Amino acid sequence: MTTRHFLTLLDLTPDELNKLIHRAVELKQIRNSGEIYEPLKNQVLAMIFEKSSTRTRVSFEAGMAQFGGHALFLSSRDTQLGRGEPIEDSAKVISSMCDAVMIRTFEHETVTSFAANSKVPVINALTDDYHPCQLLADMQTFLEHRGDIKGKTVSWIGDGNNMCHSYINAARQFDFKLQIACPEGFDPDPELVATNSDRVTIFRTPEEAVQGSHLIVTDVWASMGQEEEQKEREQAFAGYQVTTELLDQADESAIFMHCLPAHRGEEVSAEMMDDPRSVVFDEAENRLHAQKALLEFLLIK
């Protein structure tokens, strides 16, 4: 059997993704019922972090422990990766000792090179270009709150960044319409937009992008690695804050998501974060359940 990886949402078929999301809902119920379910006993997940993380680290580490396995935290600061050992050599070594590898890094090419040299499944836990694990949690959260997302309208407000790119892939794989609002100069990858032009539309104001929308999503204006652009971005994104008033202009059933960490008063108002339409903490918890479903899919089949 060939090794499956999860580097973008396109690595799984729409049918596989849908089953995975439904399985995540079941795994949540299993955990909430107190049932012990340890399908990954003695298995080890290596977790390589070249950027900071709270949710990703905790959810993968807790998920492996709950599954009866083990997770190994590898910071680039303390491994030979941080001292220039080639990614290809690291992939051969780490994948010879572990059962799966999760990587959070800068260039997307790092995860593709790692996967090309790995004997075991590789999971993209965020690159500069994509954050597919977050989308599994987001899709599970929408399903739990509002049912199937197929045919619905989603609005992305803010930077055309890694999360926005994964939303474009999600629009294709889960079959929804995506209305993006971003200032000029902060558009998502034009090739990705062109490939998905049947589902994706770009607007220049948040008000236009939320019309008829069932899910409003945003993210920080300066991603990890762009810290020095913070001030310039605050100016460019003025008027793009997601507020309760903005949600009032969307469909009456609209809910709000943010992958977190959030900057209250920048991309989202404090009031919006605490509004009943905000499901951001369910979304964060679902990282655990959705990634357990992913680990099960990649490791037990």
Q: Which residues are annotated as a binding site for L-ornithine?
A: 162, 219, 223-224
Q: Residue 294 burial by CB count (10 A; 0-12/13-18/19+): exposed, middle or buried?
A: buried
Which residue in the set 259, 288, 293, 298 belongs to the binding site for ligand CP (CB under 6 A)?
A: 259
Measured CA to CA, the distance from residue 145 to residue 161 in angstroms comes to 26
Binders of ligand NVA: how many residues, by CB under 6 A? 10
Catalytic residue flag (residue 173): no
Q: What angle do CA 19, 180, 24 make, to 5 degrees?
A: 20
Using CB under 6 A, which of the segments 191-199, 204-212, 215-223, 287-295 binds ligand NVA? Answer: 215-223
How many DSSP H helices and E strands does the chain contain? 12, 9
Catalytic residue among 138, 172, 219, 258: 219
What angle do helix axes 162-174 and 132-146 make, rounded to 10 degrees?
A: 50
Which residue in the set 8, 161, 169, 179 belongs to the binding site for ligand NVA (CB under 6 A)?
A: 161
Catalytic residue flag (residue 172): no
Closest residue to ligand NVA in the complex (CB): 223
HEC sequence for 263-292: CECCCECHHHHHCCCECHHHHHHHHHHHHH
Binding at 54: pick from ligand CP, ligand NVA, none (beta carbon under 5-8 Å per type): ligand CP
Catalytic residue flag (residue 226): no
Catalytic residue among 182, 287, 289, 291: 287
Using CB under 6 A, which of the segments 87-95, 159-167, 206-214, 282-290 binds ligand NVA? Answer: 159-167
Residues in the chain, overall count: 301
Contact 179, 211 (CB under 8 A): yes
Measured CA to CA, the distance from residue 8 to residue 146 in angstroms comes to 25
Catalytic residue flag (residue 219): yes
Helix or strand or coil: residue 104?
Answer: strand
Position 170 contacts ligand NVA (CB under 6 A): no
Catalytic residue among 23, 104, 108, 258: 104
Name residues contacting ligand CP, limited to 50-109 (CB under 6 A): 53-56
**146 Rama sector, left if φ>0, alpha if ψ -120 to 50, beta otherwise:** alpha
Binding positions are: 53-56, 80, 104, 131-134, 162, 219, 223-224, 259-260, 287
SS3 content of the chain, % helix, strand, coil (to 5): 45, 15, 40
Position 134 contacts ligand CP (CB under 6 A): yes
Catalytic residue flag (residue 98): no
Q: Write the binding mask 119 to 158 for ligand NVA: x where contact by CB under 6 A, - elsewhere.
A: -------x----x---------------------------
Catalytic residue flag (residue 134): yes
- For ligand CP, which is the closer residue by CB, 90 or 223? 223
Position 258 contacts ligand CP (CB under 6 A): no
Measured CA to CA, the distance from residue 167 to residue 120 in angstroms comes to 26
Q: Which two tokens stand for residue 240?
A: 């793009």
Residues near ligand CP, by CB under 6 A: 53-56, 126, 134, 259-260
Instruction: Write out the catalytic residue numbers.
Output: 104, 131, 134, 219, 259, 287
